Amino acid sequence: MSWFIAWFASMNLMKTVGLMGQVIFGSRFFVQWLASERAKKSVIPVAFWYISFFGGLLTMIYAIYIQEPIFILSQVGGMVIYGRNLMLIYRDRSRSHDLLAPDR
């Protein structure tokens, strides 16, 4: 437990960025769980992908700061997937909107 106290005592800006990234990233599971409970089925809301992306971004910034290549690569890979999912969601929404728009 003393290592935990010592770690918090040595907090700096970059450790705060890394910690916030992990907290944000971890919160995505609660968002998904609550959305599924509301829908009474398993769903992945758009917020899940935003939280994943921004939590991963903050975590990657920290990984770059501590110069940890394995950590950096895992975050980059995840961010590509999260970003691609957001692109697919908005492309589908744009197509749906175009189909619903009146002809000019």
Question: Which amino acid, 69?
Answer: P
Q: Which two tokens stand for residue 69?
A: 């290549």
Q: Report pLDDT for 79.
A: 94
Question: Which amino acid, 75?
Answer: Q
**Counting runs of H as helices and runs of E as strands, what totals does the chain give?**
4, 0
* C-alpha span between 66 and 62 (Å, rounded): 6
82 confidence band (pLDDT: 50, 70, 90): very high
Q: Report pLDDT for 103.
A: 58
Q: H/E element holding 36? A: helix 13-39
pLDDT tens for residues 39-63? 999 999 999 999 999 999 999 999 9
Kindly tell me if the per-residue pLDDT of 3 is higher than 90. Answer: no
Q: Report pLDDT for 62.
A: 94
Give the percent of the chain with pLDDT over 70.
Answer: 91
Tokens 């590509």, residue?
Answer: 80
Q: Which residues of 29-59 are buried (b: 16+ CB within 10 A; e: fewer)?
A: eebbeebeeeeeeeeebeebbbbbbbbbbbb
